[in-house]
Amino acid sequence: MDYLWWHVPILTAPMLIAFIATVHVFVSHYAVGGGLFLAAETTWAHKTENRQYLDYLKSHAKFFVLLTVVFGAITGVGIWWVIGLASPLATETLIRTFVFGWAAEWVFFVVELTAAYLFLSLWDRVTPRDHCTLGWLYAGASVGTLILITGITAFMLDAGKWPEATQAGMNGSAFWLGFFNPQFLPQCVARIGVALMMASTWVLFHASIFVKSEELKFLIVRRTARYVAAGVVLSAIGILWAGAILPEAAKLSLMRAAALNVILGAGVIAAGFLLFQLFILTARPQWLTPASGLAVLCAAMGILTSGEFIREAVRKPFILPECIYGNQVHVSKVEMLRQNGLLESGVWTKPYVTEKFPHLVDAQTGKLVLEQARPEDEKALGEIIFMHHCGGCHAQEFGYSGLGFLSTTSEKGEIAEMLPRLNSQIYSMPPWCGTAKEADLLAVYLESIAKPHPFQKSGSQKSAPQETETQKGAAHAAN
Ligand code: HEC
């Protein structure tokens, strides 16, 4: 209510975040796992003085630094930009809650970027020992960034004791309670596993294109396979652990949403496919071709995407648990909005409605009197309520979870009746945050975009039995 709404047609703003974030995590996990891989493998190659492998690692490090630094940084900044627009209240709260976490994150980033640059540019120009130290410095800093960011993303799924601590005004300890939330450890294990898996599949894909020598291909497949296997095992442990202690509401959401069941299944199938491919490639490394390399990379991306999608979806109705709902309303404001109205209470909605519909403003109190809305105003007012209350999770007529299709109606008034009980059936939605009059206005808008019920023609089926009852009664009376 404190901010403007950012309307992204068809896709919805959270899905736009999801797209950018998904592309970002492919690269950011590679940045962490690749750091560990390059540090460990360079150390091994220096120790065994394997010139051929060292040359390959150098060419991979070039690709790695270019991709992770340039692409990772652009998409990382992109995420901040988009979440700031899409969820300003939640972003503001995250920044304030974790300000020292973010500061530490940026220190780690600077170390990471510097080490990556030196590791690559000083290749063959410093002693093998110093070179390995640079590699491990990079790896350590990048694992540090992963741990810091995981504290915060895990918090968004289960804030642990943070809400109570902030309510009690214990802001100092609230930071630690929020950071070391119940999901923190399992998600760190899962993410390190995924990072190893992502990195090794990127290596296989890169090698499948650039390595021509059979002998080198054999070596790379055999060395990389351990990382994929370790990655799959660690991520399986982390995901099962995180799943077992998932908050009750999140568990229910995962089990009851058909789409999430399918996505979970797809993730498991992708993991099976990855292991199967790996098993074949270790037996027959010569079968590492650009096509099989890409297949392995896509399988790892599929696992990561399904995990991230589920993590995001089961958080609903909250953006920040027990604190901020998906429609940018603070939990403590719901009652006030029900009393005073959403349009009246919004920092931006009030002046907007005042300017567009001056006849709704009471001359004495300066308040909006929505009862004075003319029939031709109702749809436009309803649309403003839609934008603020529903548009964060639903598209309009068409698009992601579009309400035009979700609210098929056969009866006039059905939608208005449902709105005050918005979250009673589907608790992934926030509770109704407006007055009864606002529910009527929103219903007018929703009815205007709703598709008619395909089997029940308007007013026919439902009212038919009633009519017969009355007719029967009339007939009875006549007799
Ligand atoms: C925090 C996200 C969120 C917000 C905000 C939200 N919804 Fe939903 N809504 C959901 C989810 C999740 C579902 C169930 C999954 C689906 O079918 O897409 C759902 C389903 C629905 C359905 C289908 C119900 C059914 O029985 O299948 C309707 C109708 C609906 N929402 C209307 C609204 C309206 C109207 C608003 C605004 C007043 C709103 N939603 C706000 C998340 C949200």
How many CB atoms are located within 10 Å of the residue 337 CB? 23
The residue whose CA has the least distance to atom 2 of ligand 1 is: 393
Question: Distance between alpha carbon 463 and the CA centroid of its chain, in Å?
Answer: 44
Q: Pocket residues for ligand 1 (CB within 6 Å)? A: 316-317, 326-327, 389-390, 392-394, 401, 403, 406-407, 422, 426, 428-430, 446
Question: Cα of 385 to ligand 1 centre, how many Å?
Answer: 14
Cα–Cα distance measured from residue 5 to residue 392, given in angstroms and rounded to the nearest whole number: 9
Question: Distance between alpha carbon 276 and the CA centroid of its chain, in Å?
Answer: 29
Backbone angles phi, psi at 390, to 5 degrees: -120, -25
Given a contact cutoff of 8 angstroms between Cβ atoms, the answer to whether 97 and 171 are in contact is no
What tens digit of pLDDT does each residue of 58-112 get? Answer: 999 999 999 998 898 899 999 999 999 999 999 999 999 999 999 999 999 999 9
Q: Which of 381, 394, 408, 424 has most ligand 1 atoms within 8 Å of its beta carbon, as the pocket-test mutant? A: 394
Given a contact cutoff of 8 angstroms between Cβ atoms, the answer to whether 326 and 427 are in contact is no
The full length of the chain comes to: 479
Residue with tokens 């009864």: 436
pLDDT at 478: 44
Over range 399-419, report the average pLDDT.
83
What tens digit of pLDDT does each residue of 109-129 get? Answer: 999 999 999 999 999 999 999
Pick the atom of ligand 1 nearest to 446's CA. Answer: 35
The residue whose CA has the least distance to atom 18 of ligand 1 is: 401
Question: Cα of 428 to ligand 1 centre, how many Å?
Answer: 7
Given a contact cutoff of 8 angstroms between Cβ atoms, the answer to whether 323 and 93 are in contact is yes
pLDDT at residue 255 is higher than 70: yes
Cα–Cα distance measured from residue 262 to residue 302, given in angstroms and rounded to the nearest whole number: 13
Pick the atom of ligand 1 nearest to 326's CA. Answer: 1
Q: Worst-scoring range by mean pLDDT, 126-130, 368-372, 397-401?
A: 397-401
